Structure 1
Amino acid sequence: METAVNTITDFVKSLDAELRVFDMGRRLYRLSNGQFQKFENLEIPYPTPLQRHAWLGFLIWWNETKEEPLIWFLKLPLDEQGKIIPATRDDFIQRLMKAIQNRVNNPGSKEQSILNESELAFTPNQERMASFHAKSSRFIGKHASSYYEPAISYLKGEQTPEQWEALGLQGLADVCARLEDLNHAEIIKKALEWLPEAPKYQVLALLENEEIPTELALYILNLLENSLDSQAPNQALIASGLRALSGSKTIQPRQALILKILSTPSIQDDLEILSTIVSRCWMDLENPEICHQLFERVAKQEAGEQIFVQFFIDLVAIPGVRTWLMEMVRRTERSEELSRCIGQLFGAIQKH
């Protein structure tokens, strides 16, 4: 008797295949199979929704064969509680079954085109795609890409700084995904001392997908502190540096840095930096002062009311963050601009 296939997890098991699931939204990180299965079974909401979707990367492979793994990118819509919508998932399973059957029965078929017909399919940007390939290669024991050796050679200072334009983004992603290998974290730390601006910002942005070691995190924190203390803080460095620090365990130093950013006049209203805090450092909103100061700065934007509503609705869908946002909304000590934004928010909610 065949086992019923009700979920993506069930389907992959029916193929005797291995599964890895990655969040592709706010940051790229691996979801445990148990966590993903609970999400599929409607036991828990999605942990890190973005724009009311779960942005997922699936890696499916067979240990017993040399066949290339299957890679799918899907954005699954979520209900108001942040849980999976079963009907949408069921439709996806049917499409995936057809795609896999095409591959098994006709190895020359282009099953990717079947999924691309689905409105759920999406293509990650180049940066996120490079990180995904770097991480997935490590998980299944494959070698890094051919771009890895030139990238590590460059970061070791074996080439001139100007030669960065010849580097492949995939090579830098491979290095960042292997921080624990061959002292890569130390290599990156030393490279940040002399890297030209463009590759420096790229490396920092790629590090957002890693849990960087404390020593490297503290070095990056120091870089940002020095920039903030200068007469002209570097907006691009601070935004990319925050991305690098967002997944680190240096919580208190990072939060102190964010508060300093939000109180530095020349940069506190920079929309890119505010957006970076919202999209990457959402866990730091547990600090009530950060949450309050962030939205005070948002409220003072030229289109503050619209941006406030957009940020609030996006963040409130993340489990746990709602409590912190409601504390911010109830705070009586606030500017007139923030009060207007909160009023706009409640008006938007009542319309829906």
Structure 2
Amino acid sequence: MSANSINSISEFLLHAGTEYHVIDMGRRLTPTASQTFLDIENGSAYAPYPRQQHAWFGIVFWNKQASQSHYIWFIKLPLDEQGLVVAAARNHFLDIIVDALGQSIAQESEKAQTLPDNPYSFVPGQSQLAQFNAMVKNILGQPLSEHAQKVEAYIQAPQLVDWQQIPMQSVADFIHALASHSKSNNLLQAISDNQAIYADVFLNTLMEMSESITTPVELKNLMFEKLMCDDQVSVSALRGLSSDSFDQTLHDTLCELLHDERSQRVDILSVIAARHFSQMDNVLLSAFLEQVANVDNKEAHSGALFSGFFSDLVQIPQLRRQVLTLLHTNESSKVLSAAFAQLFAQARK
């Protein structure tokens, strides 16, 4: 196999005789169809969940004829100003993997798992990695981690199980498999009944690991309840409430939160931008950017914080027109108008 004989990462994997699954890891974990991934990497479709001017993917692949081993690549591909993958960068990555591997995937080489140092590979954080592993196990029908039963036992009888013996990966495995669990209704009822006596660390982990699944109503209600408790905002609950479709209750809750001084924190604003962009109609988008401007002024970032969030949101395909329209409207608040004026001034420099 030579670099000249293939034109995409997808084609490389197919030529190597592998089966594969792609998960978009940009803003939340989203399984991505092979054709969609091919369109994105070929620049014929926008990256739907860009982050930091890159498209982020986890690819798990295997060759049934060679072995039962599964390999994983975590790759990030730079995007141009329109949000399309930069073809030169994708081709450079292809050159790297072809030079390093040739046909070796079919030969069960460890090289398939460990690529040479390159600017396109990344290492997910602990939370994202745990969720990725759990999602892959669920997609492939693989067994859960050995400690997953401890999660179930702790949920049902927290007084009898040491939560400190439960790894994050086991919580992720449990929550991603909950929908198909034969006792899911009983377990969800137990979560509702026992929430007050769970360790805070466990409950926060449970909520955080839920951010990339279709959350059951019982668990979603718990997270709404925890979101604004103890006069602080629970970042774990905010992450867990993430949804890839519009939810009126969630939208209204976020609007309320963004009009509260408790949301004037960069970590909270970052989670809203990363996980809740699907809720951003004009009302919520304006409230969000105004709160960003408030924090920018409060912490004396001289427009840098506002510019960063604006640049992040404008690259999301489903928000781009909304963000640009808001930029040119005359109906913004004084705070937001001043932030836009500063943004224009910085652009002219």
TM-score by length of 2: 0.88
Q: Which of 235, 246, 251 is 2:247 aligned to?
A: 251
Deviation at 1:264, TM superposition (A): 2.8
Secondary structure, counterpart of 1:332 in structure 2: coil
Deviation at 1:42, TM superposition (A): 1.9
CA distance in 1 between counterparts of 2:71 and 2:9 reads 14
Deviation at 1:332, TM superposition (A): 3.1
Deviation at 1:258, TM superposition (A): 0.5
Deviation at 1:100, TM superposition (A): 3.8
Q: Give the total of aligned pairs.
A: 340
Residue 274 of structure 2 is aligned to residue 269 of structure 1: no
CA distance in 2 between counterparts of 1:349 and 1:186 reads 56
The residue aligned with 2:43 is 42
Q: Deviations over 1:256-315 (max 9, x none)?
A: 1101112234x1323322221111101211x21111111111111123522110000011
Which AA in structure 1 matches 2:206?
Answer: V
Which segment is superposed worse, 300-309 or 324-333?
324-333
Contact 2:47 2:55 in 1 (8 A): yes
CA distance in 2 between counterparts of 1:96 and 1:186 reads 48
Structure 2 residues without counterparts, runs of 5 or longer: none
Which segment is superposed worse, 176-185 or 276-285?
176-185
Contact 1:99 1:112 in 2 (8 A): no
Structural mapping, 1:142-181, within 5 Å: 142-157=142-157, 159-160=159-160, 163-181=162-180
Contact 1:185 1:213 in 2 (8 A): no
Secondary structure, counterpart of 2:177 in structure 1: coil
Secondary structure, counterpart of 2:141 in structure 1: coil
The residue aligned with 1:134 is 134
The residue aligned with 1:208 is 211
Contact 1:186 1:216 in 2 (8 A): no
CA distance in 2 between counterparts of 1:311 and 1:20 reads 31
Identity in percent: 28
Which AA in structure 2 matches 1:174?
Answer: D
Which AA in structure 1 matches 2:310?
Answer: F
TM-score by length of 1: 0.87
Structure 1 residues without counterparts, runs of 5 or longer: none
Secondary structure, counterpart of 2:179 in structure 1: coil
Q: Which of 289, 302, 306 is 1:295 aligned to?
A: 289
Q: Which of 324, 328, 341 is 1:326 aligned to?
A: 324
CA distance in 2 between counterparts of 1:189 and 1:257 reads 24
CA distance in 1 between counterparts of 2:160 and 2:273 reads 37
Which segment is superposed worse, 9-18 or 177-186?
177-186
Contact 2:22 2:34 in 1 (8 A): yes
The residue aligned with 1:93 is 94
Q: Which of 341, 344, 349 is 2:342 aligned to?
A: 344
Which AA in structure 2 matches 1:284?
Answer: Q
Contact 2:67 2:108 in 1 (8 A): no
CA distance in 2 between counterparts of 1:240 and 1:221 reads 11
CA distance in 2 between counterparts of 1:272 and 1:135 reads 25
Which segment is superposed worse, 144-153 or 198-207?
144-153
Deviation at 1:248, TM superposition (A): 6.0
Q: Deviations over 1:85-120 (max 9, x none)?
A: 12211221232234444745875654544x241111
CA distance in 2 between counterparts of 1:53 and 1:118 reads 15
Contact 1:176 1:184 in 2 (8 A): no
CA distance in 2 between counterparts of 1:77 and 1:51 reads 9
Which AA in structure 1 matches 2:337?
Answer: S
Q: Which of 308, 311, 319 is 2:309 aligned to?
A: 311
Note closer, same or farther for the CA distance 1:313–1:329 as it changes in structure 2 (3 Å cut). same
Residue 187 of structure 2 is aligned to residue 187 of structure 1: yes
Contact 1:175 1:184 in 2 (8 A): no
CA distance in 1 between counterparts of 2:260 and 2:335 reads 19
The residue aligned with 1:83 is 84
Note closer, same or farther for the CA distance 1:303–1:328 as it changes in structure 2 (3 Å cut). farther
